[in-house]
Chains A and B, each alone.
Chain A
């Protein structure tokens, strides 16, 4: 099965090509089925490869599949080749698995859209890029996928490009990501200079022999790339705006898969990070923890159903970087997987709500929807419990692993993580209450608009509900892949061990787990008191609603001094440099005008000039040169 690893990205590629050629003819919904089929087939192949790897001995679970020589110049020799090992196949499993579910969901969600087939064209291209990213055997193939997912993200965020906000959000995402990509590129340059190769095998092997400063540079520049792709401080600003895209896109790209690419990259080069100066992992952990807390505080005051989830995603990604910085790579991957389950679920749930509410996204105009959308509500509640960290749902186990690792790194980081957990439980409970409980506020809202006299939210079609139910199941039991009871139940840790290294068993630190669970319940309780029982006023200060004004400040800078500086350059070019050119031109023309008067056409004038010239020349030869 291992020699067909290339099929995993090739199947979505085939889907892309087919839809490119025949998409319009296939139309709605056949193009969607084709895309889903391709993604599903890729999942099937991945499962096959997974079992094949599983049947091998631990040290034989790494296979390189070389396709062709891609960029060979001198000492640089980059192949287009794939690496099938426990880490990449784990990523492939959830990328294709969740990808298929979201493709399926999108058939229902995008039904009736005039650009239906184009949506699936992009979606398959995205799947291809994401699989190249995780399967790449070297940094350049990963970068190919990395930029590919960025491009697809751009195309899909601005999918409804007639909307100015969507177009702007897409551009913002691409450009901000490019800042990170610059870091990724510089990291590659350092790696190539220090090791002569870009393959992970070579770089990771050489990690301990290269200069520590080089290892630090590679790790930190990679981390800059990760900050862009995975929306960490200070580059997170594109992700909340990315919610302009259709909701399946938010679920697939901006929650479950693409945004985890940064975490994946850091795990992939974990030996380099290990060889770097100790401040590098600390910096990563601090940025992760800070982002987690920062984004969670913003999430408590958002009213847009998707923006809550967007900030929540940023916050959860912060957790993953906290884990990476603490050296707990397994925990990072574990949380990445469970997060993919429950966050995809929550996004798809919110999509079902938006769909059923005729594209209303403001939670203040929702409420009591559990009565009209029972399945959506039930699955959303599962997602809520999972992300809030209530045992035994998936999120509890993975978040707990991270908090334990953070505690080992520094109790301060652990405390920050704990406060974030409290806020997470709080804002998610707030969301569930605002959307599904309380009074139905949609009646008044639509009366005000006067658009729909008798507006009835409705449950979504089955094609959208099936993925919800499957994901809900995964969000319940997903924690089972890495239970901290004994070494035997930590399956994911053993599976990943050949890639990310041995781990310290986390069993036995029960007290910390209990604290985490209690904190989650406190958060839930507080939110119920405020939003369901109205025993206290909501705390939603304007500064949090506006995301600490960070985005606004950046925007004001870009539109103000940034733009003025750019304008100044353009002015300088037109006025100073080109002005100098035109000035020279004018000078020449002016001088010529004056000199022209010498040409009188009068023979006597010329004769006189020649005579004077001859005299002067003679004088020069006689006086200066002294000979004739």
Chain B
């Protein structure tokens, strides 16, 4: 079973789909859509199968496939999955069919779908690459379709937003490229040149070298997350992107940042990550509070959700650099939960836009009265985003906080006030949009349609299930997180603090 190259397929199936869609006749839009849907559903099925077949007792990389690619440089097609990336693959695999089935571009289906599938291939590739060079390639591939999706199918300010997005991320990538090459060459003393992540993680860099290299990577990922103050591309990109783009952007793409920090930042340069933790913890907490406050004052519903992402991602960064089993597991989980909840929120906001052609909170009123089911779904998703226990959002956030408290007490106490602000900005927005007596413009707001319900139902199901029974997820994430912490312990003098145990 392990010989079956499932990870390679996860990359190749959507890539092939993209090619096929691009090559298909423009005159048959319904066939291109079916084709795109098929390849994304097949990819999704593969990702589900991957989770089922994943061995939760094994903390190491699984389903590894390794083929030498560019021999003189030691670059290989090296793929593998562990608990940290597993659910990101599932999230990617599930969100794409939902987006493709649930949203329609206003023009040129064929190119839109081709870009979408290429995006999926790039994302899948990023999450499974165990080779620095390969990762960099995928990381860059992702930018191109997203740029075109925003610029081609976005809203009024799309060109500005797309350019900003591209420049921000490219600047980060430039640092990373230097980092990737320098890491490989500076670790060369150990043997032949290699870009292999696992080999490089064994290298010992001089303290200052490690720190410089770490920062080269960290800047690229900090832009992606985004970490305050590098976040301003995000509200524009999220707001201007078409609904499908926003869902993928918030749901999956931001996770490249947090995932990268874990997989490449902390794993390759534990000393530097430990050394600079106060900086990251502080920026994370600022992001949580600042993002929430900025979200509160937004007048555009999509911008509000975008700023809420800054706050939610802050929790993940806090969890990563607090470096306890709970905080890191919580962070990895929050990756997924945020993807599901915020993805659903963007879908819902997109549905509002489709109906009313506005995203302005002030233009909407009293929707709960005319569309109670729509409002009910929005309510559940919103409560998940607020972090009400029993729904998925709480589990990740709570684990981050309780774990971080062990190593970063006062940061955590301040970060926890984010839960108050989350309630404030979402409930206030909900009140203005859904409560009250609908005015003339909103009185004819249509109720949730069957297709929309079919798209949202799986996400709501995940929201409830994960909140009530997160154990299957936690069981698969935790061993890999533990292994990462052990790796940090090996390389530095860090020992994960444990709470004082008492007899039960």
Q: How far is the CA of A70 from the CA of B419 in the complex (A)?
A: 21
Q: How far is the CA of A558 from the CA of B167 in the complex (A)?
A: 39
Known contacts A75-B499, A197-B502: does B420 contact A581 (CB below 8 Å)? Answer: no
Task: Name which of B108-116, B248-256, B338-346, B433-441 contacts chain A.
Answer: B433-441
A:371-414 near B, CB below 8 Å: none
Q: How far is the CA of A573 from the CA of B164 in the complex (A)?
A: 16
1/0 per position for B79-119, CB-CB distance to A under 8 A? 00000000000000000000000000000000000000000
CB of B294 within 8 A of CB of A570, answer yes
CB of B417 within 8 A of CB of A577, answer no
Chain A positions within 8 Å of B326 at CB level: 73-76
Chain A positions within 8 Å of B499 at CB level: 75, 192-196
CB of B419 within 8 A of CB of A185, answer yes
Q: Please, which residue of chain B has its CB at the minimum distance from the CB of A77?
A: B504
Q: How far is the CA of A202 from the CA of B501 in the complex (A)?
A: 9
* B176 CB to nearest chain A CB (Å): 20
Question: Which of B297, B406, B413, B501 is close to A186, meaning CB atoms less than 8 Å apart?
Answer: B413
Task: Name which of B142-150, B213-221, B388-396 contacts chain A.
Answer: B388-396
Q: How far is the CA of A154 from the CA of B338 in the complex (A)?
A: 23
CB of B405 within 8 A of CB of A189, answer yes
Chain A positions within 8 Å of B471 at CB level: 68-72
Chain B positions within 8 Å of A581 at CB level: 164, 168, 232-233
Q: How far is the CA of A92 from the CA of B383 in the complex (A)?
A: 26
Residue A171 is within 8 A (CB to CB) of chain B in the complex: yes
Chain B positions within 8 Å of A73 at CB level: 325-326, 329-330, 399, 403, 474, 478
CB of A569 within 8 A of CB of B294, answer yes
CB of B388 within 8 A of CB of A192, answer no
Chain A positions within 8 Å of B369 at CB level: 161-162
B:431-485 near A, CB below 8 Å: 431, 434-437, 469-471, 474-475, 478, 482
CB of B498 within 8 A of CB of A196, answer yes
CB of A201 within 8 A of CB of B388, answer no
* B327 CB to nearest chain A CB (Å): 9
Question: Which of A115, A162, A578 is close to B366, meaning CB atoms less than 8 Å apart?
Answer: A162
Question: Which of A71, A154, A167, A182 is close to B470, meaning CB atoms less than 8 Å apart?
Answer: A71
Known contacts A569-B293, A569-B294: does B423 contact A178 (CB below 8 Å)? Answer: yes
Q: Please, which residue of chain A has its CB at the minimum distance from the CB of B474?
A: A73
CB of A75 within 8 A of CB of B502, answer no
1/0 per position for A560-573, CB-CB distance to B under 8 A? 00000011011001
Question: Which of A148, A168, A205, A569 is close to B297, meaning CB atoms less than 8 Å apart?
Answer: A569
Chain B positions within 8 Å of A577 at CB level: 229, 231-232
Residue B296 is within 8 A (CB to CB) of chain A in the complex: yes
* A155 CB to nearest chain B CB (Å): 8
Q: How far is the CA of A197 from the CA of B502 in the complex (A)?
A: 8
CB of A147 within 8 A of CB of B498, answer no
Interface centre among A69, A71, A182, A195 (most CB of B within 10 A): A71
A:82-138 near B, CB below 8 Å: 115, 118
CB of B470 within 8 A of CB of A566, answer no
Question: Which of B368, B389, B416, B474 is close to A161, meaning CB atoms less than 8 Å apart?
Answer: B368
Question: Which of A151, A170, A186, A578 is close to B416, meaning CB atoms less than 8 Å apart?
Answer: A186
Which secondary structure dominates chain B's binding surface?
helix
B:229-244 near A, CB below 8 Å: 229, 231-233
CB of B297 within 8 A of CB of A570, answer yes
* A104 CB to nearest chain B CB (Å): 26
* A448 CB to nearest chain B CB (Å): 26
B:287-330 near A, CB below 8 Å: 290, 293-294, 296-298, 324-326, 329-330
CB of A174 within 8 A of CB of B164, answer no
* B313 CB to nearest chain A CB (Å): 16
A:158-185 near B, CB below 8 Å: 158, 161-162, 164, 167-168, 170-171, 174-175, 178-179, 181-182, 185
CB of B504 within 8 A of CB of A197, answer yes
CB of A570 within 8 A of CB of B298, answer yes
CB of B428 within 8 A of CB of A162, answer no
Q: How far is the CA of A170 from the CA of B434 in the complex (A)?
A: 13
* B62 CB to nearest chain A CB (Å): 21
Q: How far is the CA of A118 from the CA of B379 in the complex (A)?
A: 14
Q: Please, which residue of chain B has its CB at the minimum distance from the CB of A160?
A: B435
CB of A181 within 8 A of CB of B419, answer yes
Q: How far is the CA of A70 from the CA of B474 in the complex (A)?
A: 10
CB of B419 within 8 A of CB of A201, answer no
Q: Please, which residue of chain B has its CB at the minimum distance from the CB of A194?
A: B500
Chain A positions within 8 Å of B504 at CB level: 197, 199, 201-202
Chain B positions within 8 Å of A70 at CB level: 469-471
Q: How far is the CA of A143 from the CA of B387 in the complex (A)?
A: 12
Q: How far is the CA of A155 from the CA of B368 in the complex (A)?
A: 12
CB of B389 within 8 A of CB of A158, answer no
Residue B377 is within 8 A (CB to CB) of chain A in the complex: no
* A508 CB to nearest chain B CB (Å): 40
Residue B424 is within 8 A (CB to CB) of chain A in the complex: yes
Residue B246 is within 8 A (CB to CB) of chain A in the complex: no
Q: How far is the CA of A585 from the CA of B166 in the complex (A)?
A: 12
Q: How far is the CA of A196 from the CA of B503 in the complex (A)?
A: 9
Q: How far is the CA of A179 from the CA of B290 in the complex (A)?
A: 18
Residue B203 is within 8 A (CB to CB) of chain A in the complex: no
Known contacts A74-B324, A144-B390, A199-B504: does B401 contact A189 (CB below 8 Å)? Answer: yes
CB of A174 within 8 A of CB of B232, answer no
Q: Please, which residue of chain B has its CB at the minimum distance from the CB of A191?
A: B499
Question: Which of B290, B405, B501, B503 is close to A75, meaning CB atoms less than 8 Å apart?
Answer: B501
Chain A positions within 8 Å of B420 at CB level: 175, 178-179, 181-182
Known contacts A197-B502, A578-B232: does B389 contact A585 (CB below 8 Å)? Answer: no
Question: Which of B416, B419, B474 is close to A71, meaning CB atoms less than 8 Å apart?
Answer: B474
B:370-417 near A, CB below 8 Å: 372, 379, 383, 388-390, 394-395, 398-399, 401-403, 405-406, 409, 412-413, 416-417
Question: Which of A115, A143, A193, A566 is close to B405, meaning CB atoms less than 8 Å apart?
Answer: A193
Chain B positions within 8 Å of A147 at CB level: 388-390, 394
Q: How far is the CA of A572 from the CA of B209 in the complex (A)?
A: 36
CB of A206 within 8 A of CB of B294, answer no
* A366 CB to nearest chain B CB (Å): 29
CB of B498 within 8 A of CB of A151, answer no
Residue A298 is within 8 A (CB to CB) of chain B in the complex: no
CB of A202 within 8 A of CB of B416, answer no
Chain A positions within 8 Å of B503 at CB level: 205
CB of A162 within 8 A of CB of B436, answer yes
* B42 CB to nearest chain A CB (Å): 33
Chain A positions within 8 Å of B297 at CB level: 566-567, 569-570
Residue A188 is within 8 A (CB to CB) of chain B in the complex: yes
Q: How far is the CA of A189 from the CA of B296 in the complex (A)?
A: 27
CB of A161 within 8 A of CB of B423, answer no
25 contacts between A and B (CB under 8 A): A73-B326, A73-B329, A74-B325, A74-B478, A75-B325, A76-B403, A140-B389, A147-B388, A147-B394, A162-B436, A167-B436, A170-B427, A171-B431, A174-B427, A175-B420, A175-B424, A182-B419, A190-B405, A192-B402, A195-B500, A197-B502, A201-B504, A569-B293, A581-B232, A585-B164
Across the A-B interface, give the 9 residue pairs with the lowest CB-CB distance, nearest first. Answer: A74-B325, A167-B435, A570-B297, A189-B405, A196-B499, A578-B232, A161-B435, A196-B501, A144-B389
Beyond known contacts A154-B427, A185-B398, A196-B498: 17 more, CB 8 A cutoff? A70-B471, A71-B398, A71-B399, A74-B325, A75-B498, A143-B389, A144-B390, A161-B436, A164-B435, A167-B431, A185-B419, A189-B401, A195-B499, A195-B502, A569-B290, A570-B297, A577-B232
Interface residues of B (CB under 8 A from A): 164, 167-168, 229, 231-233, 290, 293-294, 296-298, 324-326, 329-330, 366, 368-369, 372, 379, 383, 388-390, 394-395, 398-399, 401-403, 405-406, 409, 412-413, 416-417, 419-420, 423-424, 427-428, 431, 434-437, 469-471, 474-475, 478, 482, 498-504
Interface residues of A (CB under 8 A from B): 68-76, 115, 118, 140, 143-144, 147-148, 151, 154-155, 158, 161-162, 164, 167-168, 170-171, 174-175, 178-179, 181-182, 185-186, 188-190, 192-197, 199, 201-202, 205-206, 209-210, 566-567, 569-570, 573, 577-578, 581, 585
